[in-house]
Amino acid sequence: MSKTCKTCERIFEKEEDFLVKTSQWRICAAKNLWFNCSCGSTLMIPKGKFPWYRPDNGISAPAKSLFNSLAGMESIPRIPSAIMELQTKISDSKIEISEISRILKSDPVLASEILGMANRLKNARAEDKVEIHSIDHAISYIGRKDVGQYLLTLVIKGFKIQTKVFNSDAFWAESFDRGRIAEFLAKKIRTPDMKPDEIYLAAALCNVGKIIGALLKPELIDRIEMMVSDPKKQCTWSDAELSFPEVSHVLLGEIASAIWGLPEYIMVASRYHHSDPKPGTKLKSKLYLPELVSLANSCLHWANGEPARIDFGQFQKILSGFEWQESDIEAMMPDIKKCLQRPR
């Protein structure tokens, strides 16, 4: 089949055309296949027209092995077709923001979420105290390029899970806190290639694998949550899940990114935010996103009074890479706590 990108006029004809310089492949609820052209535009291939596509393309060998061993993957909710179509309109510069706003307003819950997200971002960046009240203003503030990624985040946030102990509302509150902390730390590092929205989203979604785990294995995620919350255990989430390799949140994060079409930088942050940096790596020389996300995660637990959830060995190595010490984080802690939705 043949497709032409309406934005850059790139023509896709052969299988290899589709697989070169494209990204964010995902199947929607209607079983159509969506992807992003190298120019950023969103395109669709109708259901049944892509026998060469595999959802585990582009993920690491360990994540692929886990993907192939998991039962129930077909039950994972997909991104609604209407959201995919909205992403297509967002990426089309010929369509006015007012038209995108009109479509968003047809879903009051999603519109409210977009307004809330825009205000959270604005308040965290301390640009002014004037609240954003209109969808048009929210789209303009976030930016057309990034609002599509925030839409994906908000849709995933809305997926219903069946856990009894693991609380999705608390998970997402922590996720957005982590995003704000990561942005704050990035400003302190002052890397030249810093992209605030990518930093925020990478930090907010680095643990999205826990959502896939909760959808597939709710009872195991509950057991891990109970272990982490038990004051007698005093362990990190990664330590607690060692007994349950089928819910490794770093590998499931890769799988989530592939299934839901999240950007590659989120997949990388999810996969490596619990990995140690290579010895001697100068993390300030450029933006090392997984390490920054990991640091934000540790700072979040510190700010929330949860020292047992910090991997102090990795924490020290990352601090060293950024040429910081614990005393530097302690000095920043009052400002870090201001990033929390629920101040401690």
Q: Which of 103-112, 279-288, 299-308, 334-343 has the highest mean pLDDT?
A: 299-308
Tell me, yes or no, whether 103 and 119 share the same domain.
yes
Q: Count structural domains, the chain.
A: 3
Alpha-carbon Rg for the chain, nearest whole angstrom, is 20
How large is the average pLDDT for residues 300-317? 94
Domain boundary among 135, 158, 181: 158
Tell me, yes or no, whether 214 and 324 share the same domain.
yes
322 neighbors 283 (Cβ within 8 angstroms): yes
Would you state the pLDDT for residue 108?
Answer: 86
Tell me, yes or no, whether 224 and 120 share the same domain.
no
Tell me, yes or no, whether 139 and 220 share the same domain.
no
What spatial distance separates the first Cα and last Cα of the chain, rounded to whole Å?
Answer: 56
In which band, very low, low, confident or very high, does the pLDDT at 284 lie, cut at 50, 70 and 90? low
CA quadruple 207, 307, 231, 341: dihedral sign? negative
Predicted confidence (pLDDT) at residue 52 exceeds the cutoff of 50: yes
Tell me, yes or no, whether 182 and 304 share the same domain.
yes
Tell me, yes or no, whether 23 and 62 share the same domain.
no
- Quickly list H helices, 143-195: 144-157, 168-189
Tell me, yes or no, whether 268 and 173 share the same domain.
yes
Q: What is the pLDDT of residues 97-115, one digit of tens each?
A: 888 888 888 888 888 989 9
260 neighbors 24 (Cβ within 8 angstroms): no
* Between 40 and 313, the higher pLDDT residue: 313
Q: What is the pLDDT of residues 125-171, one digit of tens each?
A: 766 668 888 999 998 888 887 888 899 999 999 999 999 999 999 99
Which range of residues forms the domain containing residue 29? 1-53
41: its two tokens: 């535009």
- Quickly list H helices, the chain: 15-18, 61-69, 81-91, 97-105, 108-125, 135-142, 144-157, 168-189, 196-205, 209-216, 218-229, 237-240, 249-260, 264-272, 289-303, 312-321, 326-337
Tell me, yes or no, whether 204 and 297 share the same domain.
yes
Tell me, yes or no, whether 61 and 46 share the same domain.
no
Tell me, yes or no, whether 86 and 67 share the same domain.
no
Tell me, yes or no, whether 82 and 72 share the same domain.
no
